[in-house]
Structure 1
């Protein structure tokens, strides 16, 4: 038994040793680049140079160049493409140029770089298929010049049995002079005293002074452009051009500010990468928003022109097709806004990806902000969805006459978050879309604007209904807004011991004109009864007992016991 156990242990040990021997060449090939020598033209690296991990190498390079110690920073470059003499002569200059490119071209957060010597991707969640694999080549930045992309990379090198080190690759150092021409110090920075170039926080001292001046200058230009466009709007003749010019004052000012800022970035001044990246993202957002607003204002002016030409004053007397077209046009406007927002968002996110480290940081912050805004903006999102529901189902159209919460209103506009209603007395009701759709309303313009109107009069029981019926037809036929005279009718619809309710029905051409016709006919009927038959008004009979005359019981008021007594006229 012991013999079998011993042989088993030997077999496992041999298998393990064979596997280790088999993995050694592959492990060397994966973990580093084996080279015969590194930077033989330079002196021994000082102790301030740390090169064991990608994070140490980049952090050491940035610290040394910030201290203007470029000869020491040259030890973090792989200068194998240069001869030993050129390494000593050009190494420090390449380090200086590369530091300037990294400082202005792309902000590098060293905390995002691997802190392990083998640069293994650590992914506890297991979502990355390359997790746990060592790396020997990393991209830390990507910059473009005239449409050409250039990567700045680190690689791990080992000379013989020495400790492997992480250095900037020769392929990254080749385009450094080209990148330096674009991302190097600006004309302004070259003429500044050296004391203003010291670093304070994340920026240099001169940048803390220049950035407020930069913002004030661009803001002043935007204000001047806004004033100029406003004057142009006043000079133009009244109509669509002047309205359009007046509405694009602010977007034009923002576009002018972004164009000026971009020109200053390209030809006059260049800030550090953290400031430049932030400014460029903001400028991209403002430019996209400004152009989108100008396009939207153009659609608004076009919509206004079409409304004035085809519909005019918004009410339900206009043909249904015109009002339907105007409602559809506003729905298209909201669709254009939505498509513009989505396109601008995709464009901005794609541009942010050009600035990988800062872009990801901003996106992470934006995702948290989006969640918070989504929770806080549920009412707004609900109104937007309800607006699309109204646009698709069309329970109302622009110009429809509706009765909403006992008020006669014309639908004047359907927007993203609210509906604007014009009341009969020219007031404006602004109602949230979600609130409007959740309440019952009566659309008087659906199918046909014609509607029945009813007049009710409470009269005495001895009123002559046939006489009233003839007078009602006479008065109703005299009204121009009363149509379908054969549908005029008059009936007694209720009765009590003292009075009767007489109802008159008439058909009108449209709701508001029908309201006017109803008022006119009612006034004429009341005038006829008042002038010719005042005894038809309802009356109450006061019955006084003999006991009341002696000071006992108070008089009581009660209806007469019958129609004959009520009509006798003994007491009113």
Structure 2
């Protein structure tokens, strides 16, 4: 009987010990157990709240704003300091930490947990810690000499006392070094004490210093912009002057950003709210300026390669040259897209955008995505269609098109639109999606040569052999007519007393072919008018004896021409108009 009872007691003792260990382990995840807490400071004042992280931070900021640094020291865990130094050193460290937090990074108190255990309630940002208590929180992260120093809160319990939240000892150790960088600036040390008082969210002197600060960096940017303009005007005409002119704005942005950073580092420092805003703006301006310079450099290289390899944008160049130019423009768009993405990623990484906006931004991300998708559907569609044209190349820079009955050259293919130059030097700006959804003729798809017909309606008695010889003579005399072996003359139609005579000639490109067609037509018409006027179409009127007896002769009435001749005359005169797509 003793053996079973002994076994049962052993199992019960083991279970009790396991429960004790589990309880102790659970407590260790809720707070840090310590033997003493700021023994050299004495009992904390009643006005200090340390039960929750939010109360601890709010109490510290309030006490340091009131310059009660001795009371604020009770919110620091001075574990690494001897008790006899805690009172004196604690007040100094509290003042220095307040200056660091004021200038280093703005802390949003409302975003700090108001629970005693700091349990994560939302699963949007820290799903792995959802529903678990925490005993260590990060308030801010500051950069110093290329290393990151964190300002952290910890939850501590001494004996059976109630746990409290304090600034962690590892943060206390780094305060002196952080104060050297983020402490009061040279200018602030010389500002009278009466201007150091708070006025709203800023100190009184900051309301005067910020406009002066903005004016100085704006003046620096304006000066660089003007100097780059003078440099571009003094340089000899060429790519160097073009590049100098193109980077005036990016250089001004870079100058403004670097000037502001120098002033913030060596001359003046502002409150955390202003510093956070300025830091974000300076990072954006710096990244945007560098990105613009990269894009302008690509544009300059593109201009140089265009002038060197292709020259004037038209379809007189070879197909390979026009395809190369189209590829270069597509490369430019790719560089712009990569630059924008790189700048956006850099800005987000430097500004810590998602950490600053927190749960609110993440919760509304889906709504913003839907709104942006709806609003930017046309823009995104045009961008995708632009890349589709760049890959498939149904058109190239310099191609001659007939788009909606307009003769035009492709002058540029951009993200959202295509710029076309008409034959009369007008510019058509067509959205890319609209362009690809409409049929068009590419007269330069294979080569620029174009055959043009000349159609004349003449009397049935006209000698076609004579016309053929004269046509070849006139066509071969024109410099803009090529491939003389393709010259041809045929009778392509016959209507009662008339015949249609068609002449065909070849031009090096459509505009030259149209001009040669018009010149040769003029010479043919002049030859017929001067040497064979009887070849013109004429109406034949047959009068009966009864009409003659009545005196109804052509002199007494208007003779109507056959409708077929009127229509043929309209078609003949139409060929002398502006270039058509036929």
- Fold in common (TM above 0.5): yes
1:56 aligns with 2:55: yes
- My pick for the range that moved more, 308-317 or 520-529, is 308-317
Report deviation, 1:95. Answer: 0.9
Residue of structure 1 in register with 2:395 after alignment: 396
Q: Is the 8 A contact 1:543 1:557 kept in 2?
A: no
Q: 1:241 to 1:152 in 2, by over 3 A?
A: same
1:443 aligns with 2:446: no
Report deviation, 1:158. Answer: 1.3
Question: TM-score scaled to structure 2, two decimals?
Answer: 0.87
Residue of structure 2 in register with 1:557 after alignment: 560
Report deviation, 1:522. Answer: 0.7
Deviations 1:322-353 (A, max 9, x none): 22222222222212111111211111111122
Q: 1:555 to 1:450 in 2, by over 3 A?
A: closer
SS at match of 2:128: coil
Deviations 1:225-268 (A, max 9, x none): 10111001111111111111111111111111111001001101
Q: 1:426 to 1:558 in 2, by over 3 A?
A: closer
SS at match of 2:44: coil
Q: Is the 8 A contact 2:319 2:447 kept in 1?
A: no
Deviations 1:153-188 (A, max 9, x none): 111111222211111111110110110110011112
Question: TM-score scaled to structure 1, two decimals?
Answer: 0.88
Q: Is the 8 A contact 2:120 2:126 kept in 1?
A: no
Q: 1:236 to 1:369 in 2, by over 3 A?
A: farther
Q: 1:398 to 1:358 in 2, by over 3 A?
A: same
Q: Is the 8 A contact 2:279 2:351 kept in 1?
A: no
Q: 1:558 to 1:522 in 2, by over 3 A?
A: closer
Q: 1:261 to 1:358 in 2, by over 3 A?
A: farther
1:136-215 residue pairs with structure 2 within 5 A?
136-215=135-214
Report deviation, 1:360. Answer: 7.6
Deviations 1:361-387 (A, max 9, x none): 788889876654443333222222222
Residue of structure 1 in register with 2:222 after alignment: 223
Distance of 1:560 and 1:53 partners within structure 2: 100
Residue of structure 2 in register with 1:327 after alignment: 326
Distance of 2:276 and 2:226 partners within structure 1: 30
Q: 1:543 to 1:256 in 2, by over 3 A?
A: farther
Q: Is the 8 A contact 2:124 2:362 kept in 1?
A: no
Residue of structure 2 in register with 1:265 after alignment: 264
SS at match of 2:156: strand
1:82 aligns with 2:85: no
Q: Is the 8 A contact 1:106 1:355 kept in 2?
A: no
Deviations 1:468-509 (A, max 9, x none): 233222222222332333332223333334533322222223
Q: Is the 8 A contact 1:481 1:514 kept in 2?
A: yes
Report deviation, 1:24. Answer: 2.4
1:292 aligns with 2:291: yes
Distance of 2:214 and 2:441 partners within structure 1: 54
Residue of structure 2 in register with 1:490 after alignment: 489
- My pick for the range that moved more, 538-547 or 33-42, is 538-547
Q: Is the 8 A contact 2:395 2:442 kept in 1?
A: yes
Distance of 1:475 and 1:328 partners within structure 2: 41
Deviations 1:56-81 (A, max 9, x none): 11111111111222121111111122
Q: Is the 8 A contact 1:541 1:559 kept in 2?
A: no
Distance of 2:451 and 2:167 partners within structure 1: 88
Distance of 1:187 and 1:561 partners within structure 2: 97
Q: 1:466 to 1:560 in 2, by over 3 A?
A: farther
- Size of the alignment, in residue pairs? 548
SS at match of 1:482: coil
SS at match of 2:434: helix
Distance of 1:116 and 1:561 partners within structure 2: 97
Q: Is the 8 A contact 1:543 1:556 kept in 2?
A: no
Q: Is the 8 A contact 1:106 1:141 kept in 2?
A: yes
Q: 1:301 to 1:357 in 2, by over 3 A?
A: closer
Distance of 1:496 and 1:315 partners within structure 2: 41
Q: 1:197 to 1:372 in 2, by over 3 A?
A: farther
Q: Is the 8 A contact 1:152 1:172 kept in 2?
A: yes
- My pick for the range that moved more, 97-106 or 314-323, is 314-323
SS at match of 1:175: helix
Deviations 1:70-115 (A, max 9, x none): 1211111111222222111121111111111111111111222111
Residue of structure 2 in register with 1:499 after alignment: 498
Cα-Cα RMSD: 3.1
Q: 1:417 to 1:337 in 2, by over 3 A?
A: same
Q: 1:559 to 1:225 in 2, by over 3 A?
A: closer
Q: 1:347 to 1:362 in 2, by over 3 A?
A: farther
Q: 1:172 to 1:127 in 2, by over 3 A?
A: closer
Distance of 2:501 and 2:248 partners within structure 1: 63
Deviations 1:283-313 (A, max 9, x none): 1111111112112212212221222222222
